[in-house]
Structure 1
Amino acid sequence: MSEPKYRIRALHTASTITVYQAYPPALGLPAARDGRFPAAWKRDRMTWIKPSFLWMMYRCGWGTKEDQTTVLAVEISRDGFEWALAHACLSHYDRALYPDPALWKRELKRSPARVQWDPERDLHLGALPHRSLQLGLSGEAARRYADEWTVSIRDVTPLAHRIHGLVREGELTAAGELLPEETGYPAGDELLGRLQA
């Protein structure tokens, strides 16, 4: 069965969804140790969360890029995640969804969250034909993410390095077996209908 072009694929439970971010150790290690973001985490800046583990690996180079060497799995409440989607705007203008660019710009300016769809990745980090969600949080959404929605934070850098090592050795089946079990997140048209371009 072929994948739909737009679908949130994520590790999720009845009450939580796991998203990924990568930070320098000075931020990432205290966050994982304490299970919450430290005071040094800037709540007034936009932060991007990614439900796709492999898209995060593409972005951070398996945890090797500068200032992205600590990979975090952040488990947040589904209520919070869905609040962000309900208050989100597409990160780019699409004439099929907005009658004119000015209307989109106004919505973008007042939205505390923005959605971007990028090609999902395979184990070699090559682009796949279907898209993966990136969710940018700013203002109220960023503060809620850090201080209200977060349920747990785990350092998954060793997992990233282990999977990467298996990929480099050509052990793709073994690498695939270690990936988080990401399935379609049940977000219907009421949440995603206006966020798919």
Structure 2
Amino acid sequence: MRYQEIRAEFDKETVTVYQAYNKNIALSAIRNNKFEKPFSFNRMTWIKPSFLWLMERSNWGNKSNQDYILKIKIKRECWERALSIGVLTDPDKQVYSTGYEWEKQFKEAKVHIQWDPERTLKGGKLKERTIQVGISRYLIEEYNNDWISEIDDLTPIVKKMNQLRRAGKYKEMKRLLPNEKLYPLNKEIEKRIGVR
């Protein structure tokens, strides 16, 4: 693995990302295959292709308002377009020539890109970093109406995995993990989002 790269579950048409929500938002999304209020269309929503990163973030679905884990398949063309207009959340010197250039782009960004430490099954930090993508309020309706192909409820399997985790049965847990592999990108997008 490189220091920063996208690993995800994907097929020819879609890429899988994960989000965690409360019951009211999640059940409506699962039923209608799209988000509806009380989901907020006025603030940024973050999507993550790393299952284990979201598990750490949501404490395996045990954090308040993060007790439902959603598997969301979005169209690859939309995912790649989002990456192609994304701006990093920090002024990476290998991407931006000056802090001023980054600041100007960041203020106008419709998509934010952040790299965070990837996680192990036990929740430990790896040196490799995984991506999360922030969809701003300017694109959130489009994300909801056009990007999403399918929303599935992973909550039952996450609960099962968490029971195995608590029992120290990591081999059994590993069998239930999604098959995340290196996501192919063109060089221009790689450079823009700091893949290396």
The match for 2:72 among 71, 74, 82 is: 74
Deviates more, 1:44-53 or 1:184-193: 184-193
Q: 1:19-42, CA deviations, whole angstroms, 9 ceiling, x for partnerless residues?
A: 000011110111012111114322
Counterpart Cα distance in 1 of 2:65 and 2:128: 28
How big is the shift at 1:102? 1.9
- Matching of residues 98-137 of structure 1 within 5 Å: 98-137=96-135
Contact 2:70 2:154 in 1 (8 A): yes
Contact 2:45 2:140 in 1 (8 A): yes
Q: SS at the partner of 1:139?
A: coil
- Paired position in structure 1 for 2:8: 10
How big is the shift at 1:160? 1.0
Please list every run of at least 4 consecutive aligned residues from structure 1 whose deviation after the TM superposition is greater than 6 angstroms.
none
Q: SS at the partner of 1:158?
A: helix
The match for 1:159 among 154, 157, 160 is: 157
The one-letter amino acid of 1:132's match is T
In structure 2, runs of 5+ residues without a counterpart are none
Counterpart Cα distance in 2 of 1:107 and 1:114: 10
Counterpart Cα distance in 2 of 1:141 and 1:192: 21
The match for 2:94 among 76, 93, 96 is: 96
- Count residues in correspondence: 195
Q: 1:93-135, CA deviations, whole angstroms, 9 ceiling, x for partnerless residues?
A: 1233222222111101112101111111011111012111110
TM-score (norm 2): 0.95
Q: 1:11-63, CA deviations, whole angstroms, 9 ceiling, x for partnerless residues?
A: 10101001000011110111012111114322221010000000000110000
Q: Aligned residues: percent identity?
A: 37
The one-letter amino acid of 2:50's match is S
- Matching of residues 36-55 of structure 1 within 5 Å: 36-55=34-53
RMSD of the TM alignment (CA)? Answer: 1.2
- Paired position in structure 1 for 2:179: 181
Counterpart Cα distance in 1 of 2:40 and 2:53: 23
Contact 1:84 1:141 in 2 (8 A): no
The match for 1:140 among 130, 138, 141 is: 138
Counterpart Cα distance in 2 of 1:177 and 1:141: 36
In structure 1, runs of 5+ residues without a counterpart are none
Counterpart Cα distance in 1 of 2:137 and 2:63: 27
Q: SS at the partner of 2:3?
A: coil
